[in-house]
């Protein structure tokens, strides 16, 4: 019987969990450490209204938001203005940031996406009801760390994707991809991160009872 | 509340990416307000968006941009109050202008009523009220139809649907939802193409009442 590891590669589509885990990849340590720092800075903005922390977040994220909006079809001056807005929204809505449910990049992404819908389509964006309890005042540090680690491994897995598959994901977020095309990328990656978030939501509901 | 019928992943991803028509964004927001499983799904796709943002090519900001931003931090903005705890999730209340009592219904015959909500024309969102025990006319669609139960319940070929459940039907499906006894069934229905009724009379009605 032949050794399965020598079998020719099969096309598995976009099942990211087959990609290298965090510990195999030298870059993840940096990503993770950086992201932990972003969380600490964001918490200082949220709890202490710390403008130095805000400046550090701005310097790192504003150029990325601008690049993201340009990818989505905005011209440079508009993208610049919107990146400014996104960062000031981050300041004003900081109380909603919950590190047990999102990394700083994820949270900024949601603000930037809503700004993009407003800017390119002139539409409002219907949002789900807030969870009535808001962020837990003292979220479990293990939850925070685990979520940040999963987010970091997601980045690593995505960076390791073959170019055509990565392109497909980028198209799904930056262009209008049809639902059947999108269905090709939802076999996807998010198994563990999804159950982690589900667990966090269940715990929060339970704690409120 | 146990929700048995969920949104497809492709729709959750489209919502997270911000590429769905406005009417579909509305039904996703309403369902996710009631369903933790799909909320976790959306937040997972948000994480994928965050990863893309993190790796976006930097595009350098104007040298004065940080100063400008710091100046604007002192502008205070009142938080928008949200109304939660009604029959309708807050996102839907924004479109109706209030909860159930504020809906401006139009009669469609046989006790069925509807109210079309103001969204972009790429897809249509409407509230539908089917009296308890009554049936919707048989219909198929050219595109996708999603139905979210907000009050009461209905049964169709796909099963039993109660508050929070979402029924997804495509062009292949001909279905006749029947509202359960107990309460009038109120649903949010979103379509990306007009319904096609299979009987002749409703087709004429369709032209008149605009569904």
Q: Residue A121 is part of a domain; what is its CATH number? A: 1.10.1740.10
Contacts of A37 (CB under 8 A, 6+ apart): none
Chain B partners within 8 Å of A92 (Cβ): 77
pLDDT confidence of residue B100: 93
Nearest to A80 among B19, B54, B62 (CB): B62
pLDDT at A85 over 90: yes
Which A residues, 70 through 129, put their C-beta within 8 Å of a C-beta on chain B?
70-71, 76, 79-80, 83-84, 87-88, 91-92, 101-103, 105-110, 112-114, 116-117, 121, 123-129
Beta-bridged to residue B135, according to DSSP, are: B178
Q: What is the ipTM of this complex?
A: 0.84
| End-to-end Cα distance, chain A | 56
Highest mean pLDDT among A5-9, A184-188, B134-138: B134-138
Q: Do A112 and B45 touch (CB under 8 A)?
A: no
Domain count, chain A: 1
pLDDT at A157 over 80: yes
pLDDT at A206 over 80: no
pLDDT confidence of residue A26: 39
pLDDT confidence of residue B203: 53
CA angle B145, B20, A200 (to 5 degrees): 95
Return the residue in A173, A191, A198, A207 with the most chain B beta carbons within 10 A, the one to mutate for interface testing. A173
pLDDT in tens, A21-64: 444 443 434 444 454 489 999 999 999 999 999 999 999 999 99
Residue B184, helix vs strand vs coil: coil
Q: Please compute, for residue A88, the number of CA atoms within 13 A of its CA located in the half-sphere on the CB side.
A: 18
Buried b / exposed e along B149-168 (16+ C-beta atoms within 10 A)? bbebbbebeeeebbbbbbbe
CATH 2.60.120.10 fits B1-77+88-211, yes or no: yes
pLDDT confidence of residue B141: 66
- A46-55, A94-103, A164-173, A181-190: range with lowest mean pLDDT: A181-190
Residue A164 domain-assigned (yes or no): yes
Q: Do B95 and A129 touch (CB under 8 A)?
A: no
pLDDT confidence of residue B56: 80
CB A155 within 8 A of CB A32: no
pLDDT confidence of residue B152: 95
CB B86 within 8 A of CB B163: no
Residue A81 domain-assigned (yes or no): yes
> What CA–CA distances, in Å, run from B27 to A51, B32, B33?
38, 8, 10
Chain A partners within 8 Å of B90 (Cβ): 127, 129
pLDDT in tens, B176-193: 789 999 999 999 999 886
Q: Give the gap in angstroms from C-alpha B208 to the nearest C-alpha of chain A.
A: 29
A78 vs B197 pLDDT, higher one: A78
Domain residue ranges in chain B: 1-77+88-211
Residue A48 domain-assigned (yes or no): yes
- A97-106, A163-172, B62-71, B111-120: range with lowest mean pLDDT: A163-172
Nearest to B48 among A68, A112, A154 (CB): A154
Residue A52 domain-assigned (yes or no): yes
Nearest Cα residue to B84 out of B34, B140, B39: B34
The residue range of the domain holding A104 is 26-126+137-208
Interhelix angle B36-54/A163-174, nearest 10 degrees: 110
Return the residue in B52, B86, B144, B150 with the most chain A beta carbons within 10 A, the one to mutate for interface testing. B52
The arithmetic mean of pLDDT across residues A116-128, rounded, is 83
The arithmetic mean of pLDDT across residues B101-113, rounded, is 90
pLDDT confidence of residue B108: 84
pLDDT in tens, B15-71: 999 888 899 999 999 999 999 899 999 999 999 999 889 888 888 899 999 999 998
Q: Do B36 and A202 touch (CB under 8 A)?
A: yes
């Amino acid at each position: 019987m032949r050794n399965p590891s020598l079998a020719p590669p099969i096309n598995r589509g976009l099942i990211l969990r087959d990609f290298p885990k965090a510990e195999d990849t030298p870059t993840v340590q940096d990503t993770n450490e950086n992201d932990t720092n972003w969380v600490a800075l964001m918490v200082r903005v949220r709890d202490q209204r710390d403008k130095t922390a805000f400046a550090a977040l701005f310097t790192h994220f504003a150029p990325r938001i601008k690049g993201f909006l340009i990818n989505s079809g905005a011209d440079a001056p508009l993208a610049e203005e919107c990146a400014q807005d996104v960062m000031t929204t981050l300041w004003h809505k900081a109380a909603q940031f919950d590190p047990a449910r999102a990394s700083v990049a994820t949270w900024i992404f949601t603000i930037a996406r809503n700004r993009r819908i407003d800017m390119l389509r002139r539409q409002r964006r219907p949002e789900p009801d807030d969870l009535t309890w808001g962020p837990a005042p003292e979220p479990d540090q293990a939850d925070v760390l685990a979520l940040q680690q999963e987010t970091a491994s997601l980045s690593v897995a995505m960076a390791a994707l073959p170019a055509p598959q990565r392109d497909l994901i980028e198209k799904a977020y930056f262009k209008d991809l049809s639902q059947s095309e999108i269905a090709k990328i939802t076999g996807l990656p998010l198994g563990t991160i999804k159950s982690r978030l589900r667990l966090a939501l269940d715990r929060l509901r339970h704690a409120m009872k | 509340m146990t929700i048995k019928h969920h949104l497809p992943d492709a729709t959750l991803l489209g919502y997270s990416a911000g590429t769905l028509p406005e009417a579909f964004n509305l039904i996703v927001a309403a369902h996710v307000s009631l369903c933790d499983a799909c909320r976790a799904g959306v937040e997972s796709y948000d994480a994928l968006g965050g990863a893309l943002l993190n790796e976006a090519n930097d595009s350098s900001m104007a040298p004065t941009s940080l100063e400008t931003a710091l100046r604007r931090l002192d502008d205070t903005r009142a938080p928008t109050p949200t109304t939660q705890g009604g029959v309708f999730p807050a996102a839907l209340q924004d479109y109706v202008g209030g909860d159930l009592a504020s809906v401006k219904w139009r009669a469609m015959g046989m006790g069925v009523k509807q109210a079309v909500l103001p969204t972009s024309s790429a897809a249509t969102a409407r509230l539908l009220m089917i009296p308890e025990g009554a049936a919707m006319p048989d219909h198929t669609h050219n595109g996708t139809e999603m139905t979210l139960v907000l009050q009461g319940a209905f049964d169709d070929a796909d099963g039993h649907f109660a508050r929070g459940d979402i029924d997804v039907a495509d062009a292949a499906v001909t279905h006749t939802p029947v509202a359960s006894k107990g309460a009038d069934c109120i649903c949010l229905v979103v379509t990306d193409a007009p319904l096609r009724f299979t009987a002749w009379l409703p087709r004429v009605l369709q032209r008149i009442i605009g569904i």
